[in-house]
């Protein structure tokens, strides 16, 4: 059954409905200005690897210790991914098999904790993540979860309060990391807190991995027992996760990922992780991360000048939250109006939000994806004015139409996926 490998032409012939949806998604990604802080455009090389025929291979186990024959080539890509992750992050051990950031966290927890143990994580309502103990998540179902948050005035983490909370609840694991926090995290301080109560320290760098990889955010590796990450956010790789840890936890981590939690690893995705990690080692990647931060700062400062309140007053990273309360508009309304104008953001609860999360008083904005496209600081200044025009008159369709046109023109100046239609492996 000789067939060409992985062509879009084959997809079109077999399944025009899926093909058409993919094409429509391509057009959407091409023509919209995206400020979702957790999204990025993976490179052609990453997409090629992620769409490759290594999906056909079963490889339960680890390189050179597999349960199946024929693993020589998938061993090569997994070893490359491991080697490169170690080179980038300087970790003692890494497991590149987690299917996602959530699975990476599950593995870190279950490598040393038992059901019913206590964990202390950052409150979801203050910028934390579901997997840090939320009641609706496995982490809150399995463990007794307590939370710390940000100070009401500074809107930054109150480390003294974290220390007090840790002394109160005596967690087995202190969990650090966030999905909506724009300030540098003080890892030495968190290590001190964890050690003072005999807790393991887990740092989840899902959002800031690209910044950590390039030294633009301090690394938690020297301080934490476990460091987990996604590979698809600022790291700009395939949709997946990794667990890094101290050598003493290596065996436990590997064992809980397989056979504990997962079956066969997604070798095509691991191949794509290796590619993304190679890209992350290049000087261009560091320049990209610098641009991400510069763009976020310019965007936040521009909005601030127009009277938008930036949570914590600014950003050190790739993202920030805007508190829209003083503008008389909810996060939900802002998201809908900007969406109609071709600007994609997400509504987001702000710390101490009085509105339910489905409405929210704020929005979250991040610059990884527009920076991949090539937009720079002067473009951010234009974006500030586009956003302001929409949020001044969120209901006016004429404004949506006009801004949509300008967004499309801006996007056309920064083409993306111009080779995608020829993509094949
Ligand atoms: C995105 C994120 C995750 C989860 O990643 P998934 O791949 O969506 O499971 C975990 N932790 C943090 C802090 C995140 O931002």
- What residue's CA is closest to ligand 1, atom 2? 206
Do 144 and 215 belong together in one domain? yes
Mean pLDDT per 10-residue segment, the chain (425 residues) = 70 94 92 96 95 96 97 98 98 98 98 98 97 98 98 97 98 98 98 98 98 98 98 98 98 98 98 98 97 98 97 98 97 98 97 96 98 97 98 97 97 78 40
Asked if residue 26 belongs to a domain, the reply is no
Å from CA of 173 to ligand 1 middle: 18
- 94 and 85 Cβ atoms separated by less than 8 Å: yes
Mutate which of 36, 39, 98, 102 for ligand 1 pocket (most atoms within 8 A of beta carbon): 102
Q: From 280, 311, 327, give the residue that closes a domain.
A: 280
Is residue 30 one of the residues assigned to a domain? Answer: no
Query: Whole-angstrom Cα distance, residue 209 to residue 231?
Result: 8
Claim to verify: residue 263 and residue 398 sit in the same structural domain: no
Q: Which of 256, 280, 304 is the last residue of a domain?
A: 280
Q: What is the CATH number of the domain that holds 158?
A: 3.40.640.10
Q: What is the pLDDT of residue 425?
A: 32
Atom 10 of ligand 1, residue of closest alpha carbon? 101
- Its pTM stands at 0.96
- What is the Å distance from ligand 1's center to 206 Cα? 6
Measured in whole angstroms, how far is the alpha carbon of residue 96 from the centre of its chain?
16
CB distance 395 to 366 below 8 Å: no
The alpha carbon of 241 and the centre of ligand 1 are apart by a number of angstroms equal to 8
Q: Is ligand 1 within 6 A of the CB of residue 50?
A: no
For the Cβ of 230 lying below 6 angstroms from any atom of ligand 1, the answer is yes
Q: What is the pLDDT of residue 422?
A: 41
Cα separation of 179 and 163, whole Å? 21
CB 257 within 8 A of CB 226: no
CA-nearest of 104, 144, 88 to 121 is 144
Residues 274 and 128 in one domain: yes
Same-domain check for residues 256 and 355: no
Predicted pLDDT of residue 7: 76
For position 42, what pLDDT does the model report? 96
Q: What is the pLDDT of residue 219?
A: 98
> How far, in Å, is the centroid of ligand 1 from the Cα of 369?
17
In a domain, 27, yes or no: no
- Asked if residue 25 is part of any domain, the answer here is no
Write down the residue that tokens 């020297």 correspond to: 222
pLDDT attached to residue 6: 67
Q: Across 63-178, where does the E strand assignment appear?
A: 65-66, 93-95, 118-122, 144-148, 173-176
- Domain stop point among 240, 255, 280: 280
């Amino acid at each position: 059954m000789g067939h060409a490998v992985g062509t879009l032409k084959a997809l079109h012939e077999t399944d025009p409905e899926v093909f058409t949806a993919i094409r429509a998604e391509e057009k959407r990604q091409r023509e919209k200005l995206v400020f979702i802080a957790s999204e990025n455009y993976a490179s052609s090389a990453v997409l090629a690897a992620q769409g490759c025929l290594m999906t056909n291979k079963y490889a339960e186990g680890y390189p050179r210790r597999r349960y199946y024959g024929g693993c020589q080539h998938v061993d090569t890509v997994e070893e490359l991914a491991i080697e490169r992750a170690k080179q980038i992050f300087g970790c003692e051990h890494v497991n590149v098999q987690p299917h996602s950031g959530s699975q990476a966290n599950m593995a870190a927890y279950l490598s040393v904790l038992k059901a019913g143990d206590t964990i202390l994580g950052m409150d979801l309502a203050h910028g934390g993540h579901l997997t840090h103990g939320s009641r609706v998540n496995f982490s809150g179902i399995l463990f007794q979860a307590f939370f710390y948050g940000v100070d009401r005035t500074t809107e930054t983490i109150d480390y003294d309060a974290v220390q007090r909370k840790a002394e109160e609840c005596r967690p087995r694991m202190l969990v650090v990391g966030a999905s909506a926090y724009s300030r540098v995290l003080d890892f030495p301080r968190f290590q001190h807190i964890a050690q003072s109560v005999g807790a393991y320290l887990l740092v989840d760098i899902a959002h800031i991995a690209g910044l950590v990889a390039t030294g633009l955010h301090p690394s938690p590796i020297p301080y934490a027992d476990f460091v987990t990450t996604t590979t698809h956010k600022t790291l700009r790789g395939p949709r997946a996760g990794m667990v890094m840890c101290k050598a003493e936890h290596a065996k436990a981590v590997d064992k809980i990922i397989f056979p504990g939690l997962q079956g066969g690893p997604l070798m095509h995705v691991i191949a794509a992780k290796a590619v993304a990690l190679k890209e992350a080692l290049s000087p261009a990647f560091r320049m990209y991360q610098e641009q991400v931060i510069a763009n976020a700062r310019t965007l936040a400062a521009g909005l601030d000048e127009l009277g938008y309140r930036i949570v914590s007053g600014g950003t050190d990273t790739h993202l920030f939250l805007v508190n829209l309360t003083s503008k008389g508009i909810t996060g939900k309304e802002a998201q809908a109006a900007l969406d109609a104008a071709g600007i994609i953001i997400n509504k987001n609860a702000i710390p101490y939000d009085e509105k339910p999360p489905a409405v929210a008083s704020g929005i979250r904005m991040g610059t990884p994806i527009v920076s991949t496209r090539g937009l720079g600081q002067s473009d951010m200044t234009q974006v500030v004015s586009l956003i302001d025009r929409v949020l001044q008159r969120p209901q006016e369709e004429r404004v949506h139409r006009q801004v949509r046109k300008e967004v499309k023109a801006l996007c056309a100046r920064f083409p993306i996926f111009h080779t995608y239609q020829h993509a094949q492996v």
